Amino acid sequence: MKIGDLVVYLFAAALVAVGLMGMYAMGTQGGDKSVVVELDGKEVYSCRIYKGMAPVEFRVDAGNGKYNVVSVTYEEVKIKEANCPDQVCVKSGPIRHAGQAIVCLPHRVVVKITAGHEETPDVDDIAS
Amino acid sequence: MKRYQRIRALIIAIFLLGVALQGCARTAGPQEYRKDIFALNTWVNIRIYAGKEGPDILDKAIKRIEEIENRMSVTIQDSDVSRINSNAGKQPVKVHDDTFEVIKKALEYAEISNGAFDITIYPIVKLWGITSEHPRVPTEAEIQDKLRFVDYRNVVLNEAEKTVYLKEPGMGIDLGAIAKGYAADEVARILKEEGVVHALINMGGNVVAMGGKPNGQPWRIGVQDPRAEGARRHIAIIEVMDGSVVSSGDYERYIVDIYKKTGKRYHHIFDPSTGYPANSGLMATTVVAPNSIDADALSTTVFIMGVERGLELVDKLEGIDALAITFDKKIYTSKGLKGKLIVTDKEYELQP
């Protein structure tokens, strides 16, 4: 075997290795949960939840001065503050698992945790 | 020769990579389509598995929900229900077939529950205004005054004319404890007509499961944590292939008495015999039934009747099951649910 052959084989091996690594990375990414925020049925925000992530806090503008402040950490997701009349969303406390959601009916805001596509949620839906 | 070897090595490498990446590709077949909207005063989610006609099917389902809302809402001025109420003591009102069907079903449940389930509760609902902008705790005299109008036996149906008549002026009906169940059943009917096999419908907590999951497993439906407020968070799981699961509880809509500083919780499910929020020792109930209209009406009924009388009633009904959660976090089940409920929250204790 000449050096040229060796180069080609090494190149081929490297190509496969990179491909496999890429797949692995995609796989783990697919396994992570996400937070999705919807306003009146339309997605307005989403972010991935993963180990080691920095805590995220953001304000959802529901129009006419209405707002909800959402806090996201690896451990839990909650509505920290809102100016809705019933404060049900704030009193809800945190959600942690895929399939769970916090609903602010007056503002038509929904904060939900969705499963990554390699992952099965504990429940498919909740009779509330 | 050497050149061929090199090319062959490259081709093999690319082929291997191709095979490896193939593993990532999703399998073809029906796709998942979802629709989340706010309707019937609540959050509605529909998830179906269908071909590319999926979005059209969902639109059809949503249109039907809006139609039902426009006919049965007590807050929409020209709905069937509003017209029935404004003509109380005056004249019978012709209504749509679906409104008639729902009222008829509601009266059946009033009958079998001895009036625990009663759609003529509306004057009481209005008096308290729990879901309105200005809820308040009324006086005893005010409650007694409105309670006179609460009696399902004063609703007169005319099957041939499809009319509904409330005998006494001052009476009123509210279909809030049954209309969502009917709407969920209607969505399921439309989906089936359109050839959808696997679907999950959630009409503000009224869940309808269709055909199990696409992989053949049953749908796993969570039982709402009665102290999770606005969060959908579960304490137990019920597995369902086809059927409806509905919960009712003191957690859905309520006010806390801050005026007298008693901290007492006044929720939105009223006991027609007292005019006060039902106080049967329960935080919540969940009913499993083939049809959502039954599960919806019965979850309210069992909540008002309490563990003993409520579960006794459910045990008499074919194919219907229920669970009831007491304030001390004990879960009682009807006979058919024994051994089927998966409790996931250790704070709750399943009773044998």
- Say if residue B158 is in the same domain as residue B225: no
Dmax over Cα atoms in chain A, in whole Å? 78
The sign one gets for the Cα dihedral B298, B251, B269, B200 is: negative
Would you say residue B156 lies in a domain?
A: yes
% of chain B exceeding 70 in pLDDT: 88
What confidence score (pLDDT) does residue A120 get? 65
B48 token code pair: 């179906």
Would you say residue B263 lies in a domain?
A: yes
What confidence score (pLDDT) does residue B304 get? 96
Q: Which of B151, B166, B181 is the last residue of a domain?
A: B166
Give B161 or B20, the one with higher predicted confidence.
Answer: B161
Closest partner CB to B38 (pick from A19, A108, A128): A108
pLDDT over 60 (residue A30): no
Residues of chain A with Cβ-Cβ distance to B36 below 8 Å are: 38, 41, 110
A111 token code pair: 């904060």
Band of pLDDT at residue A28, cut at 50, 70 and 90: very low
Lowest-confidence range among A14-28, B37-51, B261-275?
A: A14-28
- Say if residue B346 is in the same domain as residue B223: yes
Residue-wise pLDDT for A57-115, tens only, equals 999 999 999 999 999 999 999 999 999 988 888 887 788 888 888 989 889 999 999 88
Measured distance between the N- and C-terminal CA atoms of chain A, rounded to whole angstroms: 70
What confidence score (pLDDT) does residue B3 get? 64
Structural domain of B309: 218-350
Do B230 and A105 lie within an 8 Å CB cutoff?
yes
Band of pLDDT at residue A20, cut at 50, 70 and 90: low
Residue-wise pLDDT for B91-141, tens only, equals 999 999 999 999 999 999 999 999 999 999 999 999 998 877 788 889 999
Band of pLDDT at residue B26, cut at 50, 70 and 90: very low
Closest partner CB to B229 (pick from A91, A100, A126): A91
Q: Which residues contact A29 (CB under 8 A, 6 or more apart)?
A: A48, A116
Q: Chain-wide mean pLDDT for chain B?
A: 90
Lateral strand order in the sheet of B243-249: B31-39, B42-50, B199-203, B206-210, B243-249, B282-289, B321-326, B330-333, B349-350
Would you say residue B6 lies in a domain?
A: no
Q: Could you tell me the CATH number of the domain that includes residue B304?
A: 3.10.520.10
From the list B234, B164, B191, the residue with the least C-alpha distance to B65 is B191
A83 at interface of B, judged by CB pairs closer than 8 A: no
**How many domains is chain B built from?**
2
Would you say residue B67 lies in a domain?
A: no
Question: Searching chain A, which residue's CA lies closest to the CA of residue B288?
Answer: A127
From the list B346, B306, B296, the residue with the least C-alpha distance to B326 is B306
Mean of pLDDT values over B221-225: 94
CB B243 within 8 A of CB B221: no
What confidence score (pLDDT) does residue B1 get? 54
What confidence score (pLDDT) does residue B174 get? 96
Do A126 and B223 lie within an 8 Å CB cutoff?
yes
Q: Which residues contact A35 (CB under 8 A, 6 or more apart)?
A: A45, A46, A47, A49, A70, A72, A77, A111, A112, A113, A114
What confidence score (pLDDT) does residue B282 get? 95
Do B232 and A40 lie within an 8 Å CB cutoff?
no
pLDDT over 90 (residue B4): no
Would you say residue B162 lies in a domain?
A: yes
- Say if residue B346 is in the same domain as residue B234: yes
Pairing between β-strand B155-158 and β-strand B163-166 as defined by DSSP bridges: antiparallel
Interface ipTM: 0.76
Cα–Cα dist B113/B306, whole Å: 12
- Say if residue B323 is in the same domain as residue B227: yes
The alpha-carbon gap from A46 to the nearest alpha carbon of chain B, in Å, equals 16
What confidence score (pLDDT) does residue B257 get? 57
pLDDT over 70 (residue B328): yes
How many contacts does A have with B, using Cβ atoms within 8 A? 139
Question: Searching chain B, which residue's CA lies closest to the CA of residue A84?
Answer: B133
Mean of pLDDT values over B185-199: 97
A116: number of CA atoms within 13 Å, CB side? 14
Residue-wise pLDDT for B37-81, tens only, equals 888 888 899 999 999 999 999 999 999 999 999 999 999 999 999
Do A124 and B220 lie within an 8 Å CB cutoff?
yes
